[in-house]
């Protein structure tokens, strides 16, 4: 029985050729850091993200020069593009004219109702979804009567902030609903994980079926940001909440894509590429396991097949502890054992470990593609002698 809750039912939206919500796979997004005013650099980065498995890319459109560059980007992108726009409604109109696949904006940031109406009317005509992206750091100040109302209910600071995020989102949603627009996706991001979880939980409990985009805003540098994102996004996904995700890290956005898929793989919600199992090491380790594991990890980034690979530092417990791995290596003093599904295939010298493991990984993938029955556990086993009756 899975401990991951059933996914919250949502309406289905189309962002270009990518379906979001409903029973469709949870989508991994990222955002280009290249200057949108430079189409060549932006497309180069979008292609790098697509090659890493990114399914939707958001680009910043801060001014008219960036908006004017979109016709040189959108038609040539290998994945759908979302334009990130604030305040200036004409930028959204230019993005829609360029064939953008989605908009990220807050209608409340566009001051004139007639400007909002113009954007929404055009988006509706073109069936272009709009994500209402609410971040706690940029919402309007909480009014005193709201604070008093929540205090009377005994709300904690986390609950107070979460509820204000939800109400801010609902205010923006109402603007679109009043214009009979329903191609809406919502995000309620915060840096503090308790606020993030409470906001999404509250919104998901309301009577609506809007798809939800998950992310931790300003998550941080790769190490700390990956942990914070995994806790926040992973917890929500385990609750059955979320239809798209973006891991926000202060680094090359390709790393965001990698971490996003690792979160999904950890919950067994999607399988893409290799999953690596590695022991934390102990006093029994007699090889340079850190270097070996890093080399295997680097190699596995080139593998698209969903395969589980183990690198263990001990021949005593290695195969048993990683018995579910498709292929693995347990290292000992100067030698290592290659095993498959917990069964030993062969022993190799330390200098051959990496190449031998790569070869077996490729063999597993080739066997799968050719529909070969998994008999690898017997491939290197010595034949048992047979007893023959001889007449004398």
pLDDT tens column, 320-349: 666 778 998 888 777 888 888 878 888 888
pLDDT > 80? residue 373:
no
CA-closest candidate to residue 360, choices 338, 381, 382: 338
Q: Which of 107-116, 211-220, 230-239 has the highest mean pLDDT?
A: 230-239
Q: Scan for tokens 């919500």, then name that residue.
A: 21
pLDDT of residue 86: 87
Rounded mean pLDDT, 365-387: 58
Token duo for residue 5: 């809750």
pLDDT > 70? residue 386:
no
Pairwise pLDDT comparison (106 vs 63), residue with the higher score: 63
Residue 384's pLDDT band (cuts 50, 70, 90): very low
Question: Considering Cα of 237, then 241, then 242, then 247, what sign does the dihedral take?
Answer: negative
Rounded mean pLDDT, 166-177: 93
pLDDT of residue 377: 41
Residues with Cβ < 8 Å from 203, sequence gap 6 or more? 166, 169, 186, 188, 212
Residue 388's pLDDT band (cuts 50, 70, 90): very low
pLDDT > 60? residue 171:
yes
CA-closest candidate to residue 59, choices 109, 72, 51: 72
pLDDT > 50? residue 290:
yes
CB-count exposure of residue 54 (10 Å: 0-12, 13-18, 19+): buried
Rounded mean pLDDT, 185-199: 96
Task: Give me the helix-helix angle, 253-266 and 222-238, nearest 10°.
Answer: 40
Window from 7-11, 52-56, 165-169, 289-293 with minimum mean pLDDT: 289-293
Give Cα separations from 28 to 25, 106, 109, 246 (angstroms). Answer: 9, 22, 27, 6
Residue 383's pLDDT band (cuts 50, 70, 90): very low
pLDDT of residue 315: 63
Q: Scan for tokens 């890493």, then name that residue.
A: 52
pLDDT of residue 376: 44
Pairwise pLDDT comparison (48 vs 342), residue with the higher score: 48
Q: What is the percent of the chain where pLDDT is above 90? A: 64
pLDDT in tens, 110-153: 878 899 899 999 999 999 999 999 988 888 899 999 999 999 99
Residue 301's pLDDT band (cuts 50, 70, 90): confident
Q: Scan for tokens 């399914």, then name that residue.
A: 55
User: Hey, how many other C-beta atoms are within 10 angstroms of the C-beta on 373?
Assistant: 6
Cα 378 to its chain centre, rounded Å, is 38
CA-closest candidate to residue 82, choices 129, 20, 24: 129
Token duo for residue 287: 């090889």
Token duo for residue 284: 């029994």
Domains in the chain and their CATH numbers? 13-266 (3.20.20.20), 275-376 (3.30.413.10)
- What is d(CA 171, CA 280) in angstroms, rounded to the nearest whole number? 48
Window from 80-84, 208-212, 384-388 with minimum mean pLDDT: 384-388
pLDDT > 80? residue 29:
yes
- What is d(CA 45, CA 121) in angstroms, rounded to the nearest whole number? 32
Interstrand relation of 13-15 and 130-135 (parallel, antiparallel or unpaired): unpaired
What integer best gives the mean pLDDT of the chain? 88
Task: Give me the helix-helix angle, 157-178 and 193-205, nearest 10°.
Answer: 50
pLDDT > 80? residue 286:
no
Residue 157's pLDDT band (cuts 50, 70, 90): very high
Q: Scan for tokens 């709201």, then name that residue.
A: 146
Residue 98's pLDDT band (cuts 50, 70, 90): very high
Window from 82-96, 188-202, 242-256, 279-293 with minimum mean pLDDT: 279-293
List of E strands, the chain: 13-15, 18-20, 27-31, 56-60, 81-84, 102-105, 130-135, 184-189, 213-214, 244-245, 275-278, 308-312, 327-331, 335-340, 343-349
pLDDT in tens, 243-284: 999 999 999 999 999 999 999 999 999 988 888 887 776 655
pLDDT > 70? residue 22:
yes
């Amino acid at each position: 029985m899975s401990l991951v809750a059933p996914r919250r039912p949502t309406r289905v939206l189309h962002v270009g050729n990518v379906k979001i919500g409903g029973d469709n796979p949870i989508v991994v997004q990222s955002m280009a850091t290249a200057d949108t005013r430079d189409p060549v650099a932006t497309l180069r980065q979008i292609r790098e993200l697509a090659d890493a498995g990114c399914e939707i890319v958001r680009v910043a459109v801060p001014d008219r020069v960036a908006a004017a560059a979109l016709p040189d980007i959108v038609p040539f992108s290998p994945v759908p593009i979302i334009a990130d726009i604030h305040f200036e409604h004409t930028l959204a109109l230019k993005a829609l004219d360029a064939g953008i696949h989605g908009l990220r904006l807050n209608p409340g940031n566009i001051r004139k109702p007639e400007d909002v109406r113009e954007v929404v009317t055009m988006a509706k005509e073109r069936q272009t979804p709009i994500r209402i992206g609410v971040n706690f750091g940029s919402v309007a100040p909480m009014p005193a009567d709201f604070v008093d109302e929540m205090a009377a209910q005994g709300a904690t600071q986390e609950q107070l902030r979460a509820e204000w995020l939800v109400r801010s989102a609902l205010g923006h949603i109402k603007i679109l609903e009043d214009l009979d627009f329903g191609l809406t996706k919502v995000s309620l991001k915060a840096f503090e994980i308790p606020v993030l979880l409470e906001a999404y939980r509250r919104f998901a409990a309301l009577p609506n079926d809007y798809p939800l985009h998950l992310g931790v805003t300003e998550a941080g540098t790769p190490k700390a940001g990956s942990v914070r994102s995994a806790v926040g996004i992973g917890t929500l996904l385990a609750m059955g909440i979320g239809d798209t995700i973006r891991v926000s890290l202060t680094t090359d956005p390709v790393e965001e894509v990698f971490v996003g898929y690792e979160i999904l793989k950890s919950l067994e919600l999607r399988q893409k590429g290799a999953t690596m199992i590695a022991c934390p090491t102990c006093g029994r380790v007699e090889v340079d396991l850190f270097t070996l594991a890093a080399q295997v990890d680097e190699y596995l980034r080139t593998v698209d097949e969903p395969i589980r690979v183990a690198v263990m530092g001990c021949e005593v417990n290695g195969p048993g502890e990683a018995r579910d791995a498709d292929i693995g290596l347990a290292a000992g003093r100067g030698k290592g054992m290659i095993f498959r599904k917990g069964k030993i295939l062969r022993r190799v010298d330390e200098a051959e470990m990496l190449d031998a493991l790569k070869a077996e990984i490729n063999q597993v993938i080739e066997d799968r593609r050719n529909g070969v029955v998994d008999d690898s556990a017997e491939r290197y086993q010595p034949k048992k002698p047979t007893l023959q009756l001889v007449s004398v």
